[in-house]
């Protein structure tokens, strides 16, 4: 299994404000849909609750310390495509098993946020897809710094006001 992250952030690394994304960028949403559809997506409980709905065509793995969450949260209990895990690494183990047994879920799993999950899972991540919004923004949640020692930019597409970038890990995961 390969772990990738997908994030939209401002130049000062802001990814969220008041449990929402502080911009509306349809091109980013389209890119997100194209890249993640069919794959397992892994997220923190707050990000799950910030989604407009359970996203079609994707199994959702939600990390929460609340062991009753799947039973008690209406959206989670109402979907057979939502699973919970007690911590981020347990979620990776669950997804790895699922990929092995299902035969039809691709090997690339996407960590989709938010700040807490990005921070904790960066050491397990091989690739980061970034939509970089060419602005400084204010917010309360940030994407961690990618050190130039460990990461190399392997792709860049420029658009009006934003770029799609890919970073790949240049050092092996220990
Ligand atoms: N720009 C982007 O690409 C992007 C993408 C996604 C999200 N966002 C933004 O990011 C913000 C949300 O991020 P966030 O950092 O506040 O929250 P988050 O990472 O989405 O979720 C945090 C929650 O995950 C659970 N969790 C995290 N680490 C855990 C651990 N080690 N063990 C057990 N549970 C754990 C906890 O849930 P419990 O409290 O239930 O225990 C915790 O409260 C929002 O503003 C959202 O819009 C932006």
pLDDT, tens digit (0-9, with 9 covering 90-100), for 30-82: 999 999 999 999 999 999 999 999 999 999 999 999 999 999 999 999 999 99
Buried b (16+ CB within 10 A) or exposed e, 75-92: ebeeeeebbbbeebeebb
Q: In total, how many domains does the chain have?
A: 1
Residue 172: what pLDDT? 78
Contact (Cβ atoms closer than 8 angstroms) between residue 59 and residue 81: yes
Task: Note whether residue 126 is domain-resident.
Answer: yes
Among candidate residues 9, 56, 10, the one with its CA nearest the CA of residue 36: 56
Within a domain: residue 64? yes
Q: State the CATH number of the domain containing residue 78.
A: 3.40.430.10
Backbone angles phi, psi at 121, to 5 degrees: -100, -5
For residue 174, pLDDT over 70 is answered with: no
* Residue 93 within any structural domain of the chain: yes
Residue 174 lies in a domain: no
Q: Which of 9, 41, 45, 73 to mutate to test the pocket of ligand 1 (most atoms within 8 A of CB)?
A: 45
The set of residues, in sequence order, having a beta carbon less than 8 Å from that of 91 and lying 6+ positions away, is 42, 61, 63, 85
pTM beyond 0.85, yes or no: yes
Asked if residue 12 is part of any domain, the answer here is yes
Its domain, for residue 142, covers 2-169
pLDDT tens digits, 4-28: 999 999 999 999 999 999 999 999 9
| 164's tokens | 């799609």
Q: Is 14 in the pocket of ligand 1 (CB under 6 A)?
A: no
- Within a domain: 44: yes
Pocket residue to mutate for ligand 1, from 11, 63, 112, 143, most atoms within 8 A of Cβ: 63
Q: How far is the CA of 115 from the centre of ligand 1 (A)?
A: 6
Q: What is the mean pLDDT of the chain?
A: 97
pLDDT, tens digit, for every residue of 92-140? 999 999 999 998 999 999 999 999 999 999 999 999 999 999 999 999 9
């Amino acid at each position: 299994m390969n772990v990738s992250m997908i994030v939209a952030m401002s130049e000062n690394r802001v990814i969220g404000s008041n449990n929402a994304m502080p911009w509306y960028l349809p091109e980013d949403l389209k890119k997100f849909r194209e890249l993640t559809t069919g794959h397992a997506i892994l997220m923190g409980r707050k990000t799950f609750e910030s989604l407009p709905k359970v996203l079609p065509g994707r199994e959702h793995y939600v990390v929460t310390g609340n062991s009753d969450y799947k039973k008690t949260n209406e959206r989670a209990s109402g979907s057979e495509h939502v699973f919970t895990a007690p911590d981020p690494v347990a979620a990776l183990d669950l997804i790895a098993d699922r990929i092995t047994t299902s035969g039809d879920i691709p090997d690339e799993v996407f960590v989709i946020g938010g700040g807490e999950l990005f921070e904790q899972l960066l050491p397990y991540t091989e690739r980061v897809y970034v939509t970089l919004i060419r602005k400084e923004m204010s917010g309360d949640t940030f994407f961690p710094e990618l050190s130039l020692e460990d990461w190399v930019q392997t792709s860049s597409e420029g658009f009006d006001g934003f770029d799609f970038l890919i970073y790949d890990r240049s050092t092996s995961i220990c």
